[in-house]
Amino acid sequence: MRALILSDIHANLQALEAVIEDAQARGGFDVIWCLGDTVGYGPDPGPCLTLLRRYALLAVAGNHDFASVGKMGVEDFNYAAKAAVQYTTTKLTSEESDFLAGLPLVALAEPFTLVHGTLRDPLLEYLLDQETAQATLEMLTTRYCLVGHSHLAFLYWADQSPPEFFDFIVDEDYSLDGAPWIINPGSVGQPRDRDPRPNYALYDSQKETIKRHRVVYDIQATQEKMRAAKLPQYLIERIAHGI
């Protein structure tokens, strides 16, 4: 079984299409595991949901997904994110809103747990340091955990003391060895590591390996749609810089 692992698509259809095409060229996948924030920031929330749902899909909710359907407030959102939530809300059909509202906070796909932020606070907490990583490991009931939310790819490997964060190097095969791992594949639609290329990961259950890839896509096409949608200038610029 091969799983395509996606996070933080953020309504960037061009980026999502490029990722799926690349994954198909690398041997394809049987299921998509989506770590939340499929919508928000970008111009195409509905089309991104439609494309994802063409495949076998296991998805969890992100803060933008729930904010866009009124399931959480936007007090913690900055001006640009709030504007994007308002735009997204007007673009979703009621069926799409129901789909997002029904997403679970945590999903299990043995040997993985899927969550957007952390197991302690699935929607809002960023897993970026020892404390947040350890708190999630303590609550983990499967061997491995997949997270998103920070838009930063990493591997956290707990088979040593102290456990450490590692770079999730692109195009490298990582063998999952039974020790606890927390893995962030990076963002599809709005990377924040100063590299605008979309990220994704592929898990192969036969080989017990996980691999991260990056692709190029038509950033300007997404930016033009964002301009037409009158989304904030800051959001339009940041996807070209990966910030």
Measured at CB, which residue is nearest to Zn ion? 37
Whichever of 163 and 189 has its CB closer to Zn ion, that residue is: 189
Closest CA to 12 of 183, 197, 184, 150: 197
**Least CB distance from residue 96 to Zn ion, whole Å?**
18
The minimum distance between CB 81 and Zn ion, in angstroms, equals: 9
Q: Which is nearer to Zn ion, 4 or 176 (CB)?
A: 4
Asked if 8 interacts with Zn ion (CB under 5 A), we say yes
65 binds Zn ion (CB under 5 A): no
Among candidates 14, 24, 48, which has minimal Cα distance to 34? Answer: 48
Q: Which of 149, 152, 148, 150 is nearest to 195 (CA)?
A: 152
**How many amino acids of this chain bind Zn ion (CB under 5 A)?**
2
- Part in contact with Zn ion (CB under 5 A); list of ranges 3-11, 73-81, 152-160, 208-216: 3-11
The DSSP result for 173-187, as a single string, is EEE--SS-EEEE---
The one segment of 6-14, 50-58, 139-147, 235-243 that binds Zn ion by CB under 5 A: 6-14
**How is residue 239 written in tokens?**
């996807």
Residue 37 or 125: the one with the smaller Cβ distance to Zn ion is 37
Give me the least distance between CB of 187 and Zn ion, in Å please: 6
Indicate whether 37 belongs to the interface with Zn ion (CB under 5 A).
yes
What number of other Cβ atoms are within 10 A of residue 131's Cβ?
A: 9
Least distance (Å) between residue 36 CB and Zn ion: 7
CB of 188 to Zn ion, least distance (A): 10
Classify burial at 51, counting beta carbons within 10 Å of its beta carbon; exposed 0-12, middle 13-18, buried 19 or more: middle
Distance in angstroms (rounded) separating the CA atoms of residues 115 and 37: 11
**Residue labelled with tokens 């609550």:** 139
**Closer to Zn ion at the Cβ: 124 or 158?**
124
Terminal alpha carbon distance of the chain? 34
Taking CB under 5 A as the binding criterion, the range among 20-28, 29-37, 43-51, 123-131 that sits at the site for Zn ion is 29-37
Taking contact as CB under 5 A, which single stretch among the options 30-38, 98-106, 117-125, 230-238 is the one that binds Zn ion? Answer: 30-38
Does residue number 125 form part of the binding site for Zn ion (CB under 5 A)? no
Which tokens go with 48?
A: 């991104």
* 2 contacts: CB under 8 Å, gap ≥ 6: 27, 28, 29, 30, 31, 202, 203, 204, 205
Give the residue with the Cβ less far from Zn ion, 69 or 176: 69
Candidates 33-41, 136-144, 152-160, 195-203 — which segment interacts with Zn ion by CB under 5 A? Answer: 33-41
Rg (CA), the chain: 17
- Please report, as ranges, the residues that interact with Zn ion according to CB under 5 A: 8, 37
